[in-house]
Structure 1
Amino acid sequence: MFWYEDEVKRLERQRLQDKRQPATLFYGSSSIRLWDNLSVDFKDFDAVNLGFGGSTLAACTWFFNRVMAGYKPKRLVLYAGDNDLGDGRHPEEVFLYFQQFAARVMKKFGPIPCYFISLKPSINRWGLINSFKFTNDILLQEIKQNQPNWRWIDIYNPMLNADGYPDAQYFLEDGLHLSQRGYLLWKDIIRGALIA
């Protein structure tokens, strides 16, 4: 996990410099990290961006206590697991990391509302799509059956075109990271979930 150290230290410095107490924490991988307008898009939810590039759900769990030090949020939004599968981890490993993550959230923050953004169907990782579908399925079932404080946000299906393939307009040229249109889509879906 040492390769994330600089990013985690950046988030620790950010916390020391920002003395406010944001109500909503967005945490996860580069899909969160690269969301430049996140704090504006969710201004009425008093949001802060705690994403760190390239992070896995394993890394989000590993660094949870360091990154979350000093925060007392009203809600937490997570996007992670995408890079775990990209790195060759099995869906059931991602499932176990999620269980560990949920336990850490409960221990630190208590029963606050939490939101898991489903794994996205990217062009770049289409060869792994069955693993992505399976991971989404088992995480959704875990949330429905065993995680009463968690809510599922489906961005997988809305990002597909009429042929059931990832819609290119939502991605940058790398076929992995979100375009401006991709973030507009996410914004509308996530806001809808937070308001519901």
Structure 2
Amino acid sequence: MKLYGYPTSGHTHKAQLFLSLLKLDFEFVNVDLLSGEHKQASFLALNPFGQVPVLVDGEDVIADSNAILVYLARTYDPTGQWLPEDPMKHARVEQFLSTAAHRLAGSAALLRAANLFSRTVNKPALLESAHLLFSQLNDYLQGKDWLVDERVTIADVAFYTYTKVAPEGDVDLSGYPSILSWLNNVEALDGFVDMPSSGVGLRAS
């Protein structure tokens, strides 16, 4: 397998993390976003939307981090733990995948990207959105170890990275003890690989 991505991309890290948790061998192929490599014809042949990550597994090409999580869970997890067959549990996993792709990516992740790449954003509005999401998530996680059921699923993988690096977008997580406990649970998993700090935002020091 080959994983095409960018080292500081949270979406790339989600795919890397799950590959590692599943103990799967893969080659990481760096796509230089700063030079526009993701807009070149060779990469667009893999993903016409010009975004990382992309997973190539034999003849199969899967773009989008959440789609990669689903593919890997269905293909390489015979236990069914990571993406349950039970309709209700499966639906709840999908709920968190959707929330990660929209509310999380559209708030905390945008704030981090603004700091990383000196982009102009409506920071007060995005901070308000991020803190609303994390307040709701913190309340939801009270008394829970995982997002869905009593075992880790790809919902946790999908939500982990951009939550963990939210301080790089100036989102302070110190007031969310349930989230911090959940982050620790993910980091204690066998095969966990960290997302390197980019040293921006609240982590600038």
Per the normalisation by structure 1, the TM-score is 0.33
Say which structure, 1 or 2, has more relative contact order (CA 8 Å, 6+ apart).
Answer: 2
Q: Which has the larger radius of gyration?
A: 2
Per the normalisation by structure 2, the TM-score is 0.31
